[in-house]
Structure 1
Amino acid sequence: MKKTIFMLLALLTIGLMQVHAQQQVLPPLVNVNGIGEVRVQPDQVILSMGVEVREKTLDQARKQVDAKAATIIAYLKKQGVSEKDIQTSYMSVYPIYNSGEYGRTTPDFYTAQKTMTVLVRKLNKFDDLMSGLYSAGVNRVEGVQFKVADIEKYRVEARKKAVNDAKQKATALTTELGAKVGRVYSINESTNGGRPIPMYAEAAMMKTMDSAGADGPSIAGGEVVVTSTVSVSFIIEN
């Protein structure tokens, strides 16, 4: 009996809460979207590069690629690149069969690859660093990406611009109607951008290899665009 009474009271409470929620009336609101954008020049490069070798045996291929990778890492450290900015991102060793002979189990040779991702913190050192990397054994460039070191600072700046934009829009709308903007009722925000800008690997390699006979840098970082969007509801005051 007590259990039945408790369940009835619980259902009654839930019902009253639902009725109360339905009776709630929203205040007069003005809903606006604000956009803020910041453009900044990148100051760092993420370089993905590596080495590929072909040898008659698996063991020879593995040893050759390991030796060349070690030489590349040693060169990077000698140039002042921190160990934490160097990461092996991919490695493989696989057989190659050029002959069409059916059922052949012995490969013609083995291909071994190692790819490393390097964060270059000084753009003005990129060309010299790349030239040295080719000499150290790099024969593959997978990609080049630009980034901004202190990106969060620009995200904050973009967010402030978006909020100011929203407030200006709300003020303009309410003023035209003889009202004024009150306190904020709700706000939602989304910030994106600031991701590295990719550069095609082939273009990066060709530009760097040709830079020896050209004046000026071989790469152009362009701009990183950081965008923030806010949706704000302001209470309208008469």
Structure 2
Amino acid sequence: MSSTRIARTVHVAAVAAAFAGAFAAAAAAQDSAAGKDGKGDGKGRPDAVRGRQAVIKVSGEGRSTTAPDMAVLQLSVVKDAKTAREALDANNKAMADVLSALKQAGIAERDLQTSGFSINPQYHYPQNNDGGNRPPELVGYQVVNGVGVRVRDLGQLGEILDKSVSLGVNQGGGIEFTNDKPEAVITEARKAAVADAINKARVLAEAAGVSLGRLIEISEQPSRPEPIPVVRSMAKEFAADSVPIATGENAYNVNVNVTFAIDQ
């Protein structure tokens, strides 16, 4: 009888200990979830909303303009002849005259770079009035030699173009106005882009009835800012016999992405 009572006492004590351990574990889990301030986010994260930080993500765009200080020309000499040798000799002479004139005009060696060279056979395709197949006839060769020219003194640009054509340039690939050192202009565009993003974030926060918090992340979109021609009435005055030139302005664009925290 005594042994039965002892067994019952041990069983009751074991059950009580089990319940006490369960309650202690539950209390510990609740404290962990509540955190030190008792409001949650103690890594147990009972509240899913408190587990994610509220943020505002915006993009900003900035633009800064400046007058170009350099032009990049693409000039070519094209010569045709009966043989490849004759076409090459004629092209070499004309291109040598062009390069010599460019150097005499003050263009440095570092601003002259061959941009393309080709020798192409020229064919005549006879009409097949009788329905037969006639092979093409080789009638000559064409040699094309191109050169890229950086003109740093825009006051000479019209004269250089005119003289180049007179000396043998008979094909042009375009002209691009740019800036030798655009870093300062790009910096202004970056500042404008960040200011634009901050203003957008403030408007969004005000509209949502929240306060803008700390800056979390800011990044510039990876593409390097390139000049975008802006039409302006800024034609330069040159001699009457040179090519008229309108330089206009260049605009540099920068885009940034900015993330702010929300203070609630």
The answer on 1:156 being equivalent to 2:183 is: no
**1:86 partner amino acid:** L
CA RMSD of aligned residues (A): 3.0
- Specify which of 49, 58, 65 is matched with residue 39 of structure 1: 65
**2:244 partner amino acid:** S
Pair member with larger Rg: 2
The answer on 1:140 being equivalent to 2:171 is: yes
Alignment of 1:215-230 (within 5 A): 218-230=244-256
The answer on 1:25 being equivalent to 2:51 is: yes
- Specify which of 171, 174, 191 is matched with residue 205 of structure 2: 174
* 1:15-53 alpha-carbon deviations (Å, 9 max, x no partner): xxxx999x8823222222222111222221110011111
Aligned identity (percent) is 29
- Specify which of 145, 151, 156 is matched with residue 125 of structure 1: 156
Greater RCO structure (CA 8 Å; 6+ sep): 1
**2:149 partner amino acid:** V
> 2: CA distance between counterparts of 1:226 and 1:135?
35
Q: Is the 8 A contact 1:46 1:147 kept in 2?
A: yes
Deviation at 1:150, TM superposition (A): 1.8
* 1:51-100 alpha-carbon deviations (Å, 9 max, x no partner): 11122221111111112111111111111111111111111122223362
Number of equivalences:
205
**1:150 partner amino acid:** K
**2:150 partner amino acid:** L
TM superposition score normalised by structure 2: 0.67
Question: What residue is the counterpart of 2:33 in the other structure?
Answer: none
The answer on 1:76 being equivalent to 2:102 is: yes
Deviation at 1:212, TM superposition (A): 6.5
SS at match of 1:38: strand
> 2: CA distance between counterparts of 1:159 and 1:48?
31
| Bigger fraction of residues in helix | 1
Alignment of 1:187-198 (within 5 A): 187-190=218-221, 193-195=225-227, 197=229
- Specify which of 214, 222, 225 is matched with residue 183 of structure 1: 214
Deviation at 1:179, TM superposition (A): 4.1
- Specify which of 48, 52, 72 is matched with residue 74 of structure 2: 48
SS at match of 1:30: strand
TM superposition score normalised by structure 1: 0.74
> 1: CA distance between counterparts of 2:44 and 2:157?
65
Structure 2: unaligned runs, 5 residues or longer:
1-42, 128-133, 230-237
Q: Is the 8 A contact 2:68 2:178 kept in 1?
A: yes
